[in-house]
Amino acid sequence: MTGRNDVPDPTIPPPLTTYAQNFEDVLLWRALREVEGGFYIDIGAQDPVIDSVSLAFYEHGWRGIHVEPNGHYADKLRAARPDEEVVQAAISATPGLIDFYEIEGSGLSTADAAQAERHRQDGYPVRRSSVPTLRLADLFDKVAGREIHWLKIDVEGLERQVIESWGEHSARPWVLVIESTLPRTQISSADWEPLVLARGYRLVHEDGLNRFYLSDARADLAQRFAFGPNTFDDFVLAETNYFARPLAGEIGSLRARLAEKTGYCEALEKGRADDRIYIGHLEEALAGARRELHEAWQTGRLEREAMEAERAAIDGERAAIESERAAFAGERAELGRTIETLQRHIAEMEGSRSWRVTRPLRQVGRLVRRLAGSAS
Helices (H), 112-158: 113-121, 136-142
Classify residue 376: in a domain, yes or no: no
Instruction: Say which amino acid occupies 190.
Output: A
Summarize pLDDT for 157-169 with one digit per residue, the tens: 889 999 999 999 9
Looking at the structure of the chain, the number of domains it has is 2
Same domain, 262 and 204: no
Say if residues 139 and 91 touch (Cβ distance below 8 Å).
yes
Closest CA to 19 of 134, 170, 152: 152
Same domain, 185 and 124: yes
Closest CA to 196 of 217, 211, 186: 211
Classify residue 367: in a domain, yes or no: no
Classify residue 9: in a domain, yes or no: no
Say how far apart CA 233 and CA 226 lie, in whole Å: 13
Low-confidence ranges of the chain (pLDDT < 50): 1-4
Say if residues 73 and 46 touch (Cβ distance below 8 Å).
yes
**For residue 152, what are the β-bridge partners?**
42, 177
Say how far apart CA 91 and CA 363 lie, in whole Å: 182
Say how far apart CA 313 and CA 310 lie, in whole Å: 5
SS3 (DSSP) at 154: coil
Q: Count of CB atoms within 10 A of residue 274's CB? A: 10
Same domain, 26 and 129: yes
Same domain, 238 and 262: no
Q: Among residues 186, 215, 243, which one ends one of the domains?
A: 243
Classify residue 366: in a domain, yes or no: no
Say how far apart CA 67 and CA 91 lie, in whole Å: 8
Query: What's the pLDDT score for residue 4?
Result: 47
> Residue 70's domain is classified under what CATH number?
3.40.50.150
Same domain, 74 and 181: yes
Domain extent at residue 324: 257-353
Say how far apart CA 225 and CA 243 lie, in whole Å: 21
Say how far apart CA 46 and CA 208 lie, in whole Å: 20
Classify residue 373: in a domain, yes or no: no
Same domain, 126 and 222: yes
Say if residues 227 and 207 touch (Cβ distance below 8 Å).
no
Say how far apart CA 133 and CA 141 lie, in whole Å: 15
Query: What's the pLDDT score for residue 7?
Result: 59
Classify residue 225: in a domain, yes or no: yes
Query: What's the pLDDT score for residue 2?
Result: 45
Same domain, 171 and 308: no
Same domain, 314 and 210: no
Summarize pLDDT for 71-93 with one digit per residue, the tens: 999 999 999 999 999 999 999 98
Same domain, 183 and 89: yes
Closest CA to 21 of 177, 196, 232: 177
Same domain, 303 and 230: no
CA 3 to chain centre: 24
Quick one: DSSP state of residue 5?
Answer: -
Classify residue 372: in a domain, yes or no: no
Q: Tell me which H or E stretch contains 259.
A: helix 248-350
Classify residue 336: in a domain, yes or no: yes
Number of H helices, E strands in the chain: 10, 12
Please state the pTM of the whole predicted model. 0.62
Same domain, 199 and 96: yes
Same domain, 149 and 269: no
Q: Among residues 200, 217, 243, which one ends one of the domains?
A: 243
Say how far apart CA 317 and CA 322 lie, in whole Å: 8
